[in-house]
Amino acid sequence: MQDFISKLPKAELHLHIEGSLEPELMFKLAQRNNISLKYKSVEEIRNAYQFHNLQSFLDIYYEGAGVLQKEQDFYDLTWEYLLRCKEDNVRHTEIFFDPQTHTDRNIPFDVSINGIHAALKDGEKKLGITSHIIMCFLRHLSQEEAFKTLEHAIRHKDKIIGVGLDSSEVGHPPVKFQQVFEKAMAEGFKTVAHAGEEGPAEYIWEALNLLKVERIDHGVRCLEDEKLVAYLKEHQIPLTVCPYSNVKLKVFENLKDHNLRNLLNKGLVAMINADDPAYFGGYLGENFVGTQKALDLSKEELKTLAKNSFKASFLSQDVKDKFYKEIDSL
């Protein structure tokens, strides 16, 4: 199965680039930028990655991002992720970045976007991996702050395909960002949002109806609402599911309890993603292998997951068709 999984071409649609910051690179960048970390070793950092919910992870994740200072740091972070993509046969990736995590530390917007974008361009040239960038608003901050961030994104429209919504879900419903999403759409950005990870099915409805999103990030709690499942199926709204993340953040107790197969059986467009692989113990290939084992997924189901990853992407129909053909030939 491992061999079959490596041969499957895959797209990744739910990956926070800051969540791919490995402890080794964190140390290297801390040294390069004269920043002192509270951890003494890579091992100590890894041992600190014990989470009991989303917030306990986010606290550590935002702290870790503090080592990212210069354009080159963002380049190196993104390049290391792309090398992992190559290993896992990820042919296309649509990555999130969280500019407010950096602008709040006085790192200009242009530093993060330019470093990430330069690495992605090199990834296409040297590794043959295509990509898009989705800029996320941090939902624990105000809509007013999101509007300021959108102004920066507008200056970089040539590099950013869409906007998303992430960070602490419960207590920060999609409605809080309705106007800024309206403006983003008017500016031509596509929209996605994290919803139904820890938050209720109602937040998924809001993301669909108020933010007009084309994809739901996570969305695993949709099964609590039958009408919502019917809607997601009818409109083939993709769910960018992240199995390892969900277990690490206690959305499901064990991988065996994950509802991915149920989502597929209900005719939903779900696929596998890594979310924050440096923190959750595995990149896309590992998420595939671990989830296949835990749920005993068949080759047909794995093919469906890989096809769904392209179907849900922002690639053109032509390119999607080429990938479907390649997957069908396996």
Residues 155-184 that bind ligand ADE (CB under 6 A): 166-167
Q: From CA 138, how far away is CA 130, in angstroms rounded?
A: 26
Contact flag: residue 245 with ligand ADE (CB under 6 A): yes
Q: Which helix (H) or strand (E) holds 328?
A: helix 317-328
Active-site residue, selected from the candidate residues 94, 197, 198, 206: 197
For residue 127, give the nearest of 91, 96, 74 by alpha carbon. 91
Residue nearest to ligand ADE (CB): 166
By CB under 6 A, tell whether 16 contacts ligand ADE.
Answer: yes
- Give whichever of 75 and 96 is closer to ligand ADE, judged by the CB atom: 96
**Least distance from C-beta 14 to Zn ion, angstroms?**
6
Exactly one of 117, 194, 221, 248 binds ligand ADE (CB under 6 A); that residue is: 194
Among residues 10, 11, 17, 19, the one that binds ligand ADE under rule CB under 6 A: 19
Residue 237 interacts with, from Zn ion, ligand ADE, none (CB under 5-8 Å by kind): none
- Helix axis angle for 143-155 and 178-186, nearest 10°, is 10
Q: How far apart are CA 70 and CA 19, in angstroms?
A: 17
Residue ranges in contact with Zn ion by CB under 5 A: 275
CB 67 within 8 A of CB 73: yes
Which of the listed partners (ligand ADE, Zn ion, none) does 307 bind, with a CB threshold of 5 to 8 Å by partner kind?
Answer: none
- The count of C-alpha atoms lying within 13 angstroms of the C-alpha of 48, restricted to the half-sphere facing its C-beta, is 19
Beta strand 270-272 with 239-241: parallel, antiparallel or unpaired? parallel
User: Which phi and psi angles does 264 have, rounded to 5°?
Assistant: -65, -45
Q: Which is nearer to ligand ADE, 10 or 194 (CB)?
A: 194
Residues in 292-321 that interact with ligand ADE by CB under 6 A: none
Residue pair 135/97 in contact by the 8 Å Cβ criterion: yes
- Binding residues for ligand ADE restricted to 113-142, rule: CB under 6 A: none
Which one of Zn ion, ligand ADE, none interacts with residue 197, CB within 5 to 8 A by kind? ligand ADE
Q: Is 197 annotated as catalytic?
A: yes
DSSP 66-130: GG--SHHHHHHHHHHHHHHHHHTTEEEEEEEE-HHHHHTTT--HHHHHHHHHHHHHHIIIII--E
Select the binding partner of residue 88 from ligand ADE, Zn ion, none (C-beta < 5 to 8 A, by kind): none
Binding site for ligand ADE (CB under 6 A): 16, 19, 54, 166-167, 194, 197, 245, 275-276
Provide the annotated active-site residues: 197
